[in-house]
């Protein structure tokens, strides 16, 4: 796949060769290659929704490669408050930069932005839909511990209904026929259409509400928080809030060697005591956002081939 000049909106636009290219490029960057390759390039970050890791890692990635950053986080001090449309914002900002990274609460907003922008657009999360660069960094993190993704037994725990990171990663792993376990209360189970797609792609997909009832030794447990902001009915949120909590005892039950991942932020779904375990990967995972997003920016801007 030639990334140069291309927008990255959905995992469905990416094939396994592209995943391999991003992983290889991120590894080379982590080893010190491509320093300064984005000098005189400008990134615009349009974050209509809160973010810490995604926004700051994109900004760090751009600056570490020699580029500069403009943009906003939150719309209080932008023309959006005056009623400016997303279309007008994107068309205007595209004239100020070489690439746009956008996060928006509405599903499909990133796709719309890519269709009207004169520069490449990278989706940093659109509602409960897609978050492709999170999937890239998850893949990269997995690749550091597992040489073959098809052999990884992974369980997804928590909010599988609204979790865009889970949606993107599970679909991507299905391209490698990775076996998966979906562990969630009925109210937050993986959307049926996505489970069907995953099975059609050749992965096995087991569904359960009981974490301790998983009858296989998992290699990875990918934990997600219950996303309060996605609920329209707070009574429904209260029904599922705090329904899972990963502790050292739970990790021991799962076999001690299971790698614990989480896209962050967390609330109370992983106890602080787990942080001290060697197999708690979530902060390492978050830090991998820099080389992976460096790879994405370098490839999209044609500075890395």
For residue 24, indicate whether it is catalytic. Answer: no
Identify the active-site residue in 54, 141, 165, 224. 54
For residue 53, indicate whether it is catalytic. Answer: yes
Burial class (CB in 10 A: 0-12, 13-18, 19+), 1: middle
For residue 111, indicate whether it is catalytic. Answer: no
CA nearest neighbour of 294 among 4, 47, 60? 60
For residue 266, indicate whether it is catalytic. Answer: no
Helices (H), 132-281: 132-143, 164-174, 192-200, 234-240, 248-253
Identify the active-site residue in 81, 82, 148, 272. 82
Name the token pair of 149.
Answer: 């993704």
CA 91 to chain centre: 26
Residue 226 · residue 158 · CB < 8 Å: yes
**Residue 44: helix, strand or coil by DSSP?**
strand
CA nearest neighbour of 106 among 121, 123, 82, 94? 123
Identify the active-site residue in 4, 27, 30, 53. 53
Identify the active-site residue in 131, 161, 259, 262. 131
Identify the active-site residue in 6, 55, 103, 262. 103
Look-up of token digits 């967390």 = 266
Rounded to a whole number of angstroms, the distance between the first and last alpha carbons of the chain is 10
For residue 131, indicate whether it is catalytic. Answer: yes
Catalytic residues: 53-54, 82, 103, 131
């Amino acid at each position: 796949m030639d990334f140069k000049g291309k927008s990255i909106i959905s995992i469905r636009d990416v094939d396994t060769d592209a995943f391999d290219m991003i992983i290889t490029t991120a590894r080379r960057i982590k080893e010190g290659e491509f320093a300064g390759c984005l000098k005189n390039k400008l990134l615009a970050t349009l974050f209509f929704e809160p973010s810490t890791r995604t926004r700051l890692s994109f900004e760090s990635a751009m600056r570490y490669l020699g580029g500069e950053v403009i943009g906003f986080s939150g719309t209080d001090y932008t023309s959006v408050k005056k009623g400016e449309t997303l279309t007008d914002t994107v068309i205007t900002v595209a004239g100020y930069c070489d690439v746009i990274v956008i996060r928006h609460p509405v599903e499909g907003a990133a796709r719309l932005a890519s269709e009207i922008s004169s520069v490449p657009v990278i989706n940093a999360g659109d509602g409960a839909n897609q978050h492709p660069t999170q999937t890239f960094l998850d893949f990269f993190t997995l690749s550091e511990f597992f040489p073959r993704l098809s052999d990884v037994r992974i369980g997804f725990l928590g909010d599988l209904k609204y979790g865009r990171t889970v949606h993107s990663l599970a679909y991507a792993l299905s391209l490698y026929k990775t076996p998966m376990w979906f562990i969630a209360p009925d109210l937050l189970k993986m959307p049926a259409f996505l489970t069907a797609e995953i099975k059609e792609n050749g992965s096995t997909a087991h569904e359960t509400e009981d974490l301790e009832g998983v009858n296989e030794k998992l290699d990875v447990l990918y934990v997600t928080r219950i996303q309060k902001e996605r609920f329209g009915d707070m009574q429904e949120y209260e029904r599922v809030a705090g329904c899972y909590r990963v502790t050292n005892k739970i990790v021991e039950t799962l076999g001690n060697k299971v790698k614990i991942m989480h896209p962050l932020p967390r609330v109370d779904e992983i106890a602080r005591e787990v942080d001290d375990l060697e197999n708690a990967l979530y902060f390492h995972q978050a830090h991998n956002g820099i080389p992976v997003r460096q790879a994405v920016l370098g490839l999209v801007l044609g500075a890395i081939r």
